[in-house]
Amino acid sequence: LQVFQKFYNQDKVQTRESQLKAIKRAFQTLEIEVQVPRITSPILTFSTWRGGDRDGNPYVVASFSNQTFIEQKLFILTHYYQMVKELSDKLNISTKHIAISDALVKSLDRDRIKFPYLTDIKPVEPYRAKIRYIIEKLENTLRLVRSIMRTAGSTTKPLLGQTLPGPAGYNLATEFQEDINVVYHSLVENHGKAQARSLVQDLK
């Protein structure tokens, strides 16, 4: 408990994420190995009452539900964007130390064609390069979601479909997951299991 408290108190703003990080660091410090159970179906599912009370409440109209859906999408995207930005500063592994999988090579080739204007890409740091492309896709998606949200509360027309950015961003959660998975599995397959589990696994 004292080790946990030490790490937890290091955060100026203490949140649920602070607790999870403190638990993780405490276990690592105490060299406690946790056997992660194999999960084949979700343990928890999330739902919301806000914007869904459409059973006669005169104040919950279609435009309010619209705004709620867009706000939730923005919240989730922002959360992942912040996590990936942090990862960019840590996953600066050179190919001199850890190789990359064929799947990651192909994924980088596709991204390079899609985003030729990105010049801050170092070929010797393919993992960081992939993260940079993921950041670009998230930024493009966030930009569109924010623009749609400005009018979400003033229309009854369904708007979630208008927040899909096409090839420049993420239209489905599975697209984001595929990008994260290709990084994770490439690390695991090339003697980078420690980096995969400590840096990337939380995004899976």
Q: Give the pLDDT score at 152.
A: 79
- The mean pLDDT of 58-76, rounded to a whole number, is 83
Q: Give the pLDDT score at 38.
A: 73
Q: Give the pLDDT score at 153.
A: 77
- Structure confidence by residue, pLDDT tens digits, 127-184: 999 999 999 999 999 999 999 988 877 777 778 788 889 989 999 999 999 999 999 9
Taken in order 187, 190, 194, 195, is the CA torsion positive or negative?
Answer: negative
pTM beyond 0.85: no
Q: Give the pLDDT score at 117.
A: 94
Asked if 156 contacts 62 with a C-beta cutoff of 8 angstroms, the reply is yes
- Structure confidence by residue, pLDDT tens digits, 10-65: 766 566 677 777 777 777 787 777 676 676 777 677 666 666 666 677 777 778 88
